[in-house]
Structure 1
Amino acid sequence: MSSLFDKYAPLQTRVDMMMKIGQDALGVQFDDILDATRGRIGNREILLAGTNNYLGLTFDEDCMKAAQKAVESHGTGTTGSRVANGSYAEHIDLEKALADHLGMPSCIVFTTGYQTNLAAIAGLAGDKDVIFMDADAHACIIDGTRLTGASTIRFRHNSPEDLDKRLKRRGEIEGGNALVVIEGMYSMFGDIAPVDEFVDVTHRHGGYLYIDEAHSYGVFGPTGCGIAEEQGVLDKIDFISGTFSKSLASVGGFCASRHKEFEITRKIMRPYMFTASATPSNIAAARAAVEKVKAGGHLRSNLKERAQQLHAGLKEMGYDLCADASPVIAVRRPNEAVAAMEWNWLIENGVYVNLAVPPGTPQSSSLLRISLSAAHTEENINAILKAFGELKSAQGEMMQNMAAKLAAE
């Protein structure tokens, strides 16, 4: 008789290979987080270069005090959804603050960033609509489309031209609309979308543009609103989603719209209606962080400088980088085994990055993914570069060791 888990045998084989090479790169346990750029595993201090803590606000004094005060005032949890248990004043205040920052009349806050796209996309697209989705869309976007009855058409990554062709080919959507979904900065490669061109193509065909700025809110634009603001088209975006777990140093998410009618979707979005609302501490921390984002020009400036420094250094060493300089720098490796081996070497030598492998990566790539923070210093970047330089020198010996480990039973 077959087991319910037999279908995971190929995945188990990959995990077994990873464990032969070293530790589980997808299940790291930190014994302590010391600050925005330092952690501890056992007695070893680790330089954190894979946390998505773009503005370094997780240890910001104002954000921490706001969270602590919220717990003291409202307790640790909300114990139900906003539909069932009502909204706290803090939920509504955060929605207003985000809407004002983005210059949009409507904003809905969710309990997680993943849930945001799941709820909003499923709430917006109906049976007669068609979703046009970038080929490299995040898992939560893909899953959001699966909750709808809408048809889904993928277009080539970051290609307004291919979108234009597919919208023309699809023609007029009888009784429905086109919803185009893209991201601002893509989380794996760190590449930037030509949002201004997507606005033009989408609206020329009468569609609605939905942009996920999860990795770019707080990071780009004069006031930190993201790539749309950076490219001067923020006021033309129909829907913009984001997360609290990156620049806003908390847990949660939001979707804002220039269409005030978006408010009606609160009544039908199942992931919003049937999930407990965000805790007081998460909401309060994110609310304080919004003010830091608005005034964070100096943080964005340092983040940009550190990204350029690291990108230039890695490129000079001959590493294959997936995109131009941005806060996410992905180093392409030959295969999953090599990437896992090198990830283990880096963490053993005091630098934590992300191991990113298929199916969660574009083009079936195996990556060492680095995400930088405004809290990183020039010295921190030099330390990362030193580690990658030594990694390159050690590759021959590592390959021999890896071959021996994989051959051993």
Structure 2
Amino acid sequence: MTSKVLHSFLEKNIDDLKERGLYNEIDPVQGANGPVIEINDKKLINLSSNNYLGLATDNRLKEVAKKAVESHGVGAGAVRTINGTLDLHIELEKKLAEFKGTEAVISYQSGFNCNMAAISAVMDKNDAILSDELNHASIIDGCRLSKAKIIRVNHSDMDDLRNKAKEAVESGKYNKVMVITDGVFSMDGDIAKLPEIVEIAEEFDLITYVDDAHGSGVLGKGAGTVKHFGLQDKVDFQMGTLSKAIGVIGGYVAGKAELIDWLKVRSRPFLFSTAVSPADAAASTKAVELLMESTDLNERLWENSNYLKEGLKNLGFDIGDSETPITPCVIGDEKDTQKFSKRLYEEGVYAKSIVFPTVPRGTGRVRNMPTAAHTKEMLDDALKIYEKVGKEMGLI
């Protein structure tokens, strides 16, 4: 028998979310998640994928994934610390360390797992973490899991960071103090002020942690935000994902060899969850190799990004202050945002609405993610639809 209390709780709260325009409906994609997708038998220009470089559907990755299935099977068969570490995982980690310019790398099942694993493996209740107020949910959860004191820092406010770092260190209450930030902020597309953050960290001997999920494959000619600023020797933790620009699934932490050794014996998702599949490991390695061999995909991504940004701005949309391919169209009201996204869908563009709690109340937006796989014709068609719907709703 289903609990009446649970039923009442769920019914009340789901209805409330729908009433306020905060209920998220999931749209299953029929087939591959490329620049054009099919949902409910309708073809749509896809501007919602994190597949920045188009590698999720790249034939070169498909081929190595197929070979890995034939040679290694469909699953790793165990956690990494028993006998789930395959030669393919070692190859991936070596290639990632070379790519990121660090001594070593540890790979995980997802980017979210990285932040849950790495933060809590190093920080505890006797420590403090200085966390940017717009950091990703996985960072917030990783900080909470560590039980360290979380000190919220105003977004990219270096004066606030310096003052709070000084206060935390000079209080003498904490054994260790970490500063943690996204490299690229996923909702607005702005870049962390890493040179200033590193300068403050050196002044107060802070541990530095950069979540570069949206920077890897995008900035630094593909090598990421840290390498973009030439700071790979100054940042303790470089977290990255294999699920966005790399086009596969998984995550990793790059850093000094002693840090990676510690994470292998103390980070819980590594210890207690089965490793990524052989196909995923092999495909990820191939993707990294492609990025190291050529910057063509990265250059095409930026060309398409700048083209779409200019087009939306010229139409009169508020695209914020994005410095990366992430291109929000800020609508504001949650219900209007949901309606705008629905009308785009009806006209042939898939740009998912993003509302509270993912972004602050009153800042609802559709987030556009142009990729290297889009053609100019696709982007032109999308801009025409944006113009039509924007004028229809009185947004431009």
TM-score (norm 2): 0.93
Q: Which residue in the other structure is 1:15 paired with? A: 18
Whole-angstrom CA distance in 2 between matches of 1:54 and 1:338: 27
Q: Which residue in the other structure is 1:4 paired with? A: 6
Q: Which residue in the other structure is 1:287 paired with? A: 285
Write out aligned runs for 1:311-322 (5 A): 311-322=309-320
1:203-253 deviation digits (Å, cap 9, x = unpaired): 21101110011011011113x211121122222111100111101111100
Whole-angstrom CA distance in 1 between matches of 2:219 and 2:117: 25
Judged with a 3 Å threshold, the aligned counterparts in structure 2 of structure 1 residues 269 and 244 are, in CA distance, closer, same or farther, namely same
Q: Which residue in the other structure is 2:84 paired with? A: 86
Q: Over the residues paired in the alignment, what is the CA RMSD in angstroms?
A: 2.0
1:126-173 deviation digits (Å, cap 9, x = unpaired): 222211111011111111111112111110111222110101122344
Judged with a 3 Å threshold, the aligned counterparts in structure 2 of structure 1 residues 364 and 199 are, in CA distance, closer, same or farther, namely farther
Judged with a 3 Å threshold, the aligned counterparts in structure 2 of structure 1 residues 316 and 70 are, in CA distance, closer, same or farther, namely same
What secondary structure, in the 3-state scheme, does the structure 1 residue paired with 2:233 have?
helix
Residue 35 of structure 2 corresponds to residue 37 of structure 1:
yes
Percent identity among equivalent residues?
31
What secondary structure, in the 3-state scheme, does the structure 2 residue paired with 1:236 have?
coil
Judged with a 3 Å threshold, the aligned counterparts in structure 2 of structure 1 residues 131 and 364 are, in CA distance, closer, same or farther, namely farther
Judged with a 3 Å threshold, the aligned counterparts in structure 2 of structure 1 residues 261 and 193 are, in CA distance, closer, same or farther, namely closer
Matched to 2:282, the amino acid is: A
What secondary structure, in the 3-state scheme, does the structure 2 residue paired with 1:93 have?
helix
Contact 2:76 2:276 in 1 (8 A): yes
Contact 2:180 2:208 in 1 (8 A): yes
Write out aligned runs for 1:302-381 (5 A): 302-362=300-360, 365-381=363-379
Q: How many matched pairs? A: 391
Unaligned runs of 5+ in 1: 399-409
Whole-angstrom CA distance in 1 between matches of 2:179 and 2:52: 27
What secondary structure, in the 3-state scheme, does the structure 1 residue paired with 2:329 have?
strand
Contact 1:83 1:273 in 2 (8 A): yes
Judged with a 3 Å threshold, the aligned counterparts in structure 2 of structure 1 residues 364 and 7 are, in CA distance, closer, same or farther, namely farther
Matched to 2:244, the amino acid is: K
Whole-angstrom CA distance in 2 between matches of 1:164 and 1:13: 41
Q: Which residue in the other structure is 1:404 paired with? A: none
Write out aligned runs for 1:8-407 (5 A): 8=10, 9-15=12-18, 26-33=25-32, 36-172=34-170, 173=172, 176-222=175-221, 224-258=222-256, 260-362=258-360, 365-395=363-393
Contact 2:132 2:154 in 1 (8 A): yes
Judged with a 3 Å threshold, the aligned counterparts in structure 2 of structure 1 residues 75 and 368 are, in CA distance, closer, same or farther, namely same
TM-fit CA distance, 1:30? 1.7
Judged with a 3 Å threshold, the aligned counterparts in structure 2 of structure 1 residues 127 and 325 are, in CA distance, closer, same or farther, namely closer
Whole-angstrom CA distance in 1 between matches of 2:350 and 2:17: 21
What secondary structure, in the 3-state scheme, does the structure 1 residue paired with 2:181 have?
strand
Judged with a 3 Å threshold, the aligned counterparts in structure 2 of structure 1 residues 187 and 352 are, in CA distance, closer, same or farther, namely same
TM-fit CA distance, 1:11? 4.2
Judged with a 3 Å threshold, the aligned counterparts in structure 2 of structure 1 residues 5 and 156 are, in CA distance, closer, same or farther, namely farther
Whole-angstrom CA distance in 2 between matches of 1:66 and 1:171: 49
Whole-angstrom CA distance in 2 between matches of 1:327 and 1:333: 19
Contact 1:25 1:343 in 2 (8 A): no
Whole-angstrom CA distance in 2 between matches of 1:331 and 1:44: 23
Whole-angstrom CA distance in 2 between matches of 1:381 and 1:60: 20
Whole-angstrom CA distance in 1 between matches of 2:179 and 2:9: 34
TM-fit CA distance, 1:106? 2.0
What secondary structure, in the 3-state scheme, does the structure 2 residue paired with 1:171 have?
helix
Whole-angstrom CA distance in 1 between matches of 2:345 and 2:270: 38
Whole-angstrom CA distance in 2 between matches of 1:114 and 1:364: 26
1:35-77 deviation digits (Å, cap 9, x = unpaired): 6201112432111111011111112121111111111111111
